Amino acid sequence: MFSRLQVVSFRSSAALAQRRLASTKSLKQTLGEVIPAKQAQLKKLKAEHASKPVQQTTVEQVIGGMRGIRSILWDASVLDPNEGIRFHGLSIPECQDVLPPAPGGKEILPESMLWFLMTGQVPTADQTRELSRELAERGELPKYIEQLIDSLPPTLHPMTQLGMGVAALNHESAFQKAYESGVKKTEYWAYAYEDALTLIARLPSLSARIYRNIYRDRSSTPAVDKNLDLVGNYANMLGFGDNKDLTEYLRLYIAIHGDHEGGNASAHTSHLVGSTLSDPYLSYAAALYALAGPLHGLANQEVLRWQLAMQDEIGAENITHDTIREFLWRTLKSGQVVPGYGHGVLRKSDPRFIALQQFCDTRPDLLASPTIQLVKKTFEVAPDVLTEHGKTKNPWPNVDAASGCVLYHYGLREFKYYTVIFGVSRALGCLTQIVWARALGLPIERPKSLSLNDIEKIATSA
């Protein structure tokens, strides 16, 4: 008899082999072939299992921010409390093994992750390069967007500017124009796809222009290079094109940060707004403003601030497990949280954190960096301190415990901008879901609310 681990391994290997059989078709053609099977699967679920319960909702969940309520169809990724994120069933290490990197590089290209999220199939290297070229062809900003961003005061938060730019891009929305012309519902997905791909292509140009306006005295942004991939262009437009290690890091970060199931605030917001048939630009602009909140996308900059404060107080020459432990306890006893530790769903170390740590372990300059060493040593101490403190359900690090610190080491030190990079990344998953929501004909989201009196009656009668 085979063990459960062997069975899972065989199934995973078979799935990988099947996914490797990608053809020379484009992403849109491949997606058009995948959609009918998912439509049939959904139709069967509705017909045979519509009345079956998924879970029971508790009072705590209703009044606690809907934590843990399973209520969103989100097919591309699933977040397990112990295993972490899986993309179409594959873990981050498995994705690193099979998804094509840039020529001469080792890290996942976001284009290959986008293809995989959209279709559930692993693209070939040639298909990935073709997608890179298509995105580059779509990547230049319209003049009116450049004028809009240039007209904004540099003191306006970069996330505010990003949301405004994304919303204004809907001036050219293919979905909006098709809807107004009366296109059939069965064709919605194709126009949503066009908007999604164009928005993903233009996010680096838009984000780089915001960066240069705020932090580089409005210096001119380089044009999109049709020979570069999405992140290669992004790094070049930011002014870091010569830093190959930073470019590789951004590829990894954006690829593995691109989707994290549908329950997080930005993903849920894009899903909710998209369910009204708002076009992908407006839907993702709303998601960006959810991402801008301190409890969501701003976390990585809070980690870096805290780490640098620790470094200043302790002194780089005095950083030991004991001095870190003392600083952790001072943080907790002052009523503050330890940023970068704990997660709303995860109950183990975030696999994304592990992937970023492994990236650091392969580069001598990162291993020698006091900031990166502090991240590593904090990881070796913090879980025990937080467990002893006893007020956290998860004492393990999430991705934010490392992500901003690596950017800082490579010279991208403007904290307020870090969430913009997160926004470039998360578009992969949110926009994939909008395309699929239109392909599956998902309805407008409309949960039922309850008053406190209603909740009390339900609770006491139970």
Quick: pLDDT tens for 147-172. 999 999 999 999 999 999 999 999 99
> Active site residue: 195, 268, 400, 409, which one?
400
Residue 137 in any domain: the answer is no
Residue numbers of the domain that contains 395:
299-409
Residue 269 in any domain: the answer is no
Nearest-angstrom CA–CA distance, 309 and 307: 5
pLDDT given at position 13:
45
> Active site residue: 229, 343, 350, 409, which one?
343
pLDDT given at position 23:
58
Residue 350 in any domain: the answer is yes
The owner of tokens 């306890």 is: 329
pLDDT given at position 2:
35
The total of structural domains in the chain comes to 1
pTM given for the model: 0.92
* Tens digits of residue pLDDT in 73-129: 999 999 998 889 999 999 999 999 999 999 999 999 999 999 999 999 999 999 999
> Active site residue: 296, 322, 361, 365, which one?
296
pLDDT given at position 445:
96
* Tens digits of residue pLDDT in 288-314: 999 999 888 888 888 889 999 999 998
- The CATH number covering residue 314 comes to 1.10.230.10
Nearest-angstrom CA–CA distance, 33 and 37: 8
Residue 323 in any domain: the answer is yes
Instruction: Kindly tell me if the per-residue pLDDT of 176 is higher than 50.
Output: yes
Largest CA distance in the chain: 69
Residue 398 in any domain: the answer is yes
Specify whether 400 is catalytic.
yes
pLDDT given at position 294:
85
* Tens digits of residue pLDDT in 391-413: 878 899 999 899 999 999 999 99
Specify whether 171 is catalytic.
no
Residue 119 in any domain: the answer is no
* Tens digits of residue pLDDT in 238-256: 999 999 999 999 999 999 9
pLDDT given at position 316:
78
Specify whether 260 is catalytic.
no
Mean per-residue pLDDT of the chain: 92
Q: Which of the four pLDDT bands, split at 50, 70 and 90, describes residue 18?
A: very low
Residue 191 in any domain: the answer is no
Of 245, 220, 215, 232, residue with least CA distance to 367:
245
Assign 3-class secondary structure to the chain: CCCHHHHHHHHHHHHHHHHCCCCCCCHHHHHHHHHHHHHHHHHHHHHHHCCCCCCCCCHHHHHCCCCCCCCCCCCCEEEECCCEEEECCECHHHHHHHCCECCCCCCECHHHHHHHHHHCCCCCHHHHHHHHHHHHHHCCCCHHHHHHHHHCCCCCCHHHHHHHHHHHHHHHCHHHHHHHCCCCHHHHHHHHHHHHHHHHHHHHHHHHHHHHHHHCCCCCCCCCCCCCCHHHHHHHHHCCCCCHHHHHHHHHHHHHCCCCCCCCHHHHHHHHHHCCCCCHHHHHHHHHHHHCCCCCCCHHHHHHHHHHHHHHHHCHHHCCHHHHHHHHHHHHHCCCCCCCECCCCCCCCCHHHHHHHHHHHCCHHHHCCHHHHHHHHHHHHHHHHHHHHCCCCCCCECCHHHHHHHHHHCCCCCHHHHHHHHHHHHHHHHHHHHHHHHHCCCCCCCCCCCCHHHHHHHHHHC
For residues 353 and 401, is the Cβ–Cβ distance under 8 A?
yes
For residues 417 and 211, is the Cβ–Cβ distance under 8 A?
yes
Residue 275 in any domain: the answer is no
pLDDT given at position 344:
78
pLDDT given at position 347:
83
Instruction: Kindly tell me if the per-residue pLDDT of 315 is higher than 90.
Output: no
pLDDT given at position 9:
43
* Tens digits of residue pLDDT in 363-390: 999 999 988 999 999 999 999 999 999 8
Phi, psi angles (nearest 5°) of residue 84:
85, -160
